[in-house]
Chain A
Amino acid sequence: MIIAQQKPIKDIAEMIADCKKVLLVGCAGCVTVCLAGGEKETEILAAALRIMRRLQDNPLETVTYVATRQCDPEYIATMDNLVKDVDAIISLACGVGVQYIAERYHDKWVVPALDTKFIGGSKVHGVWEEKCGLCGDCVLHRTGGICPIIRCSKSILNGPCGGSQYGKCEISKDVDCAWQLIYDRMKALGRLDKLMEIQPPKDWSKSRDGGPRKAIREDVMIG
């Protein structure tokens, strides 16, 4: 899932400083699961902003709504009625949601309540970790199911580098060396020979280097 975290409340308040009424929109997708922008977080943020503004003698009216997914424009359309009389929309989705809302409501001030951090999972409740760098050409079958792109600090494809020490990455003793993990796993699987295969250079045009990407499935397109 996409992992996001709420921005400091002072920053969010600043973005809507000149507004009297705002709509806060949560998302029932990833950000609900990573506890950053679901129904609960949306209501907490609304209450905190209201209190802040009352303390400044400049009351703020809030409306809250949670979209099924903000990354699907059809779910954004369900809030048409709610946006009419608000001065701003605060989205508690990832950056995708913020952008779809801004696209639909041209004349509205749309601001992000979250910082979209990475793609990852929850290691334990309350701890999320980055697992995939969205390279567009997955190599996990060659690396024992351990991503060298995002879990190796240098994203190298022929590690480990000289900074790998006692299984840790040179950037911090709290970070595992991904290539040590890859080596250990491949060894345990009896597939070290796979690591010896010569690979062509990675095609980074399939990643962000090729500009913004699109995925198309003509067979499911409507119309």
Chain B
Amino acid sequence: MQYVPNIRIVEMPCSGTIDHRVLLQAFEDGADGVFVAGCMEGDCHFQKGNYRARKRVNAVKKLLDEIGLGGERLEMYNLSAAMGPRFAEIANEMTERVRRLGPSPLKKQSAGTMEKEGDVA
């Protein structure tokens, strides 16, 4: 599977463990964009982890809009661990979006990393 090299993967036991603080920290640490990759809807081992993740991602998107960083820099996707090509597609899609938005204004020197949180390795 091939995808853009500028992504740092942060593995979580379940996308449902995603916390507003982790997402904000990624941006504070200089991420230009963050995407959360949860399992397919209906496929969560913990029943509703990915639904909860989506709600939190949406709440943080709204907060990012309010504080001026822009909710577009954050997105939630659903895919299974077996969907390698789809992962690559999402990674490229998100990278494109972030390129269009430009580097994060929070970053002093642009290192060009994008962070991803999720349970898809």
Contacts and interface: CB of A to CB of B under 8 A. Distances in A.
Contacts of A54: 105-106
Interface stretch (A40-48, A74-82, A131-139, A157-165): A40-48
Interface of B: 19-21, 24-25, 27-28, 63, 66-69, 105-106
Given A40-B20, A54-B106, A55-B105, A9 B25 contact: no
A48 B63 contact: yes
A131 to B, nearest CB: 26
A55 B66 contact: no
A211 interface: no
B19 A48 contact: no
Contacts of A10: 66
Chain B at the A interface: mostly helix, strand, loop or mixed?
helix
Contacts of B69: 51, 55
B102 to A, nearest CB: 13
What is the predominant secondary structure among interface residues of chain A facing chain B?
helix
Contacts of A47: 21, 24-25, 28
B21 A48 contact: no
Interface string A48-88: 10111011000000000000000000000000000000000
A8 interface: yes
Contacts of B66: 8-10, 48
A65 to B, nearest CB: 16
Nearest to B66: A9
B108 to A, nearest CB: 10
A144 B93 CA distance: 59
A51 B19 contact: no
A55 B28 CA distance: 11
B103 to A, nearest CB: 13
B20 A52 contact: no
Contacts of B105: 54-55
B67 A55 contact: yes
A55 B106 contact: yes
A53 to B, nearest CB: 9
Given A51-B28, A51-B69, 17 more contacts: A9-B63, A10-B66, A40-B19, A44-B63, A47-B24, A47-B25, A47-B28, A48-B24, A48-B63, A48-B66, A51-B24, A51-B27, A51-B106, A52-B67, A52-B68, A55-B67, A55-B68
